Structure 1
């Protein structure tokens, strides 16, 4: 009984693992010429950003990961050039989605933590449902951007809106 409890992961650990695994199943533009896979966060002193930044030995397609702290004033197009996956927690969702327009075609995947994030135009969301965290994908959004989500990732995802 205690062994299971001891190995239980926090929501932030689960989210960081999801983000890392997602990168393996998304083909980003110019991926072959990039030196790193770049994960961007508004906060890297706690949450999934802190966990990924502590694991500098992780690689995606034989390239190291890079964790970047971004500023809230960075516009969406700059983020799209700097980041492969940008994680936006619920506290920052309104800030980023208010600057987004649906006509903007991005090179990065924007990941949030709520269904509201997807309804506001987000691409993916790691939603806590009871004791589990589930990956939701906004199918309409992924078709509009410059990256490809592989079928293996889609197979383990839920979709919103359906």
Structure 2
């Protein structure tokens, strides 16, 4: 009985530890959006797109319905159906990939993304496959890494203030 109790406590601690990291990444995404000039913006809202709104960063956004970016409201788009409707991809200002994404899925997807979409992930593999920004955990901090090559190919501006606190990939 004790073993069961300890096991359940450990599992709940692991689950609870993952959510603060997702909240931290969600807050970073909103801060990043403040420093991006979306000259192409077709709507008054900044549109954040996620593949999963039930866990992680997508869930953290859903739980904060009153988010704003430079006083624009935030729209949240679920991309879980984007394979059936590729037109959804063109609606995104910022798309966030969470976790490891298989190369055979990620690389082709990044090639068809509009150059108006800021693509953000959470690992170096994502940057190596053409992602623009990655929020990478280093110790107890989340560091911002920018892919210089991908940044040159996009159709929006990232302000110098954000770039000055970023690390660049590849070094």
**Same structural fold, with TM-score higher than 0.5 when normalized by the shorter chain:** yes
2:38 to 28, 31, 54: 28
The answer to whether the aligner puts 1:47 opposite 2:56 as a matched pair is: yes
Report the RMSD for the aligned CA atoms in angstroms.
2.2
Residues 76 and 100, structure 1, Cα contact 8 Å, conserved in 2: no
- Structure 1 partner of 2:26: 16
Alignment of 1:138-157 (within 5 A): 138-157=147-166
CA distance in 2, matches of 1:87, 1:93: 15
1:105-141 deviation line (CA, Å, top 9, x unaligned): 6101110111111111110001111222111000111
- Structure 2 partner of 1:115: 124
Q: Which 4+ stretches in 1 moved above 3 angstroms?
A: 74-78, 91-94
1:29-56 deviation line (CA, Å, top 9, x unaligned): 333x522100000011111111112212
- Deviation of residue 148 (structure 1)? 0.6
Residues 56 and 64, structure 1, Cα contact 8 Å, conserved in 2: no
How many pairs does the alignment contain?
151
- Mark the runs of 5 or more structure 2 residues left unpaired by the alignment: 1-18
- Structure 1 partner of 2:73: 64
Residues 120 and 132, structure 2, Cα contact 8 Å, conserved in 1: yes
Q: TM-score w.r.t. structure 1 length?
A: 0.83
- Structure 1 partner of 2:5: none
| Structure with the greater alpha carbon radius of gyration | 2
Alignment of 1:83-94 (within 5 A): 83-92=92-101, 94=103
Residues 56 and 66, structure 1, Cα contact 8 Å, conserved in 2: no
Taking structure 1 as reference, are residues 127 and 88 closer, same or farther at Cα in structure 2, changes over 3 Å only?
same
Taking structure 1 as reference, are residues 132 and 93 closer, same or farther at Cα in structure 2, changes over 3 Å only?
farther
